[in-house]
């Protein structure tokens, strides 16, 4: 049984080691469109704590939405028009270095640095593995898509992109799937599904639709981790 422990000295959230019940599909480097899909990305305990964190953001949604509209780093087309109309915000803008230790979303970055995940990377992306292992910076973004939200075809200006999709059951929307354009593949939006790929791959989020207006918080969340490399003397 997994338990949550909060250290009185460091305020760090500690999760006991448990088996990762991952369902893994890998697509190798042959066509230069390597990507990895893993279901059951978060454990049951982690998922419960992450939803608590998301609900905290939902309770301050007016502030979050206000901040989201200030975001200027969304990809733009050649005419300068934003390619996405979804809400988004970076955790880095809300937490100090110490405060990050209280974020379960941030804590779960241990998974991407685990030996198990690195082995998957080495097998699925042999031409990219060392590049990922050499990354030394990351940033985390939370985006939210409800009716009418989308993200048109774009690439990310980092080295690797990791997407984790979350939504409440029963699912109240259609769409929100991700298309990897060069791979000619559509990856269905499934809750607690992770998608990892080199950021040069062109990708897009299909428009979210629903038969009726859904309450705020019942749409598609995406936790995005960007990985990059930065010189120590930069």
pLDDT tens-digit series, residues 101-123: 899 999 999 999 999 999 999 99
Question: Chain-wide mean pLDDT for the chain?
Answer: 86
Give the tokens for residue 37. 């899909």
Cis peptide bond N-terminal to 100, omega within 30? no
Sheet holding 203-205, edge to edge: 151-154, 203-205, 178-180, 185-187
Average pLDDT over residues 17-34: 82
Q: Which helix (H) or strand (E) covers residue 68, if one does?
A: helix 61-69
Whether residue 7 has pLDDT greater than 70: no
State which CATH number among 3.40.50.970, 3.50.30.30, 3.20.20.140, 2.60.120.620 fits the domain covering 22-71+89-228.
Answer: 2.60.120.620
Residue-level pLDDT at 40: 96
| Residue-wise pLDDT tens digits, 124-166 | 999 999 999 999 999 999 999 999 999 999 999 999 999 999 9
| Residue-wise pLDDT tens digits, 45-57 | 999 999 999 998 8
CA distance 84 to 223: 16
Give the tokens for residue 150. 């989308």
Whether residue 58 has pLDDT greater than 80: yes
Residue-level pLDDT at 220: 95
Residue-level pLDDT at 233: 60
Residue-level pLDDT at 213: 85
Whether residue 10 has pLDDT greater than 50: no
Per DSSP bridges, beta strands 178-180 and 203-205 are antiparallel
| Residue-wise pLDDT tens digits, 71-103 | 566 787 777 788 888 888 888 888 888 888 899
| Residue-wise pLDDT tens digits, 174-222 | 999 999 999 999 999 999 999 999 999 999 999 999 988 888 889 999 9
Q: pLDDT band at 69, cuts 50/70/90?
A: low
CA distance 111 to 38: 12
Q: pLDDT band at 11, cuts 50/70/90?
A: very low
Closest CA to 222 of 178, 156, 185, 183: 178
Residue-level pLDDT at 42: 96
CA distance 83 to 217: 22
Residue-level pLDDT at 60: 76
Residue-level pLDDT at 12: 42
Give the tokens for residue 97. 């270095």
Whether residue 18 has pLDDT greater than 90: no
């Amino acid at each position: 049984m997994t338990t949550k422990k909060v250290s009185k000295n460091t305020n760090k959230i500690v999760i006991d080691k448990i088996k990762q019940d991952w369902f893994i599909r890998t697509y190798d480097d042959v066509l230069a469109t390597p990507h990895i899909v893993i279901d059951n990305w978060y454990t049951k305990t982690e998922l419960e704590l992450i939803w608590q964190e998301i609900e905290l953001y939902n309770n301050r949604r007016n502030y979050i939405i206000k901040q989201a509209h200030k975001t200027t780093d969304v990809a733009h087309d050649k005419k300068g028009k934003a390619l996405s109309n979804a809400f988004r915000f970076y955790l880095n803008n809300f937490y100090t270095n110490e405060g990050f230790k209280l974020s379960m979303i941030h804590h779960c970055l241990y998974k991407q640095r685990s030996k198990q995940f690195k082995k998957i990377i080495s097998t699925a992306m042999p031409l990219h593995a060392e590049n990922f292992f050499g990354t030394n910076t990351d940033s985390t973004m939370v985006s939210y898509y409800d009716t009418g939200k989308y993200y048109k075809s774009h690439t990310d200006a980092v080295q690797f992109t990791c997407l984790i999709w979350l939504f409440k059951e029963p699912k109240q929307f259609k769409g929100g799937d991700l298309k990897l354009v060069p791979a000619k593949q559509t990856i269905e939006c499934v809750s607690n599904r992770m998608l990892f790929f080199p950021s040069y791959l062109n990708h897009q989020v299909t428009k979210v639709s629903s038969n009726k207006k859904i309450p705020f918080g019942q749409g598609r969340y995406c936790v995005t981790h960007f990985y990059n490399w930065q010189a120590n003397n930069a």
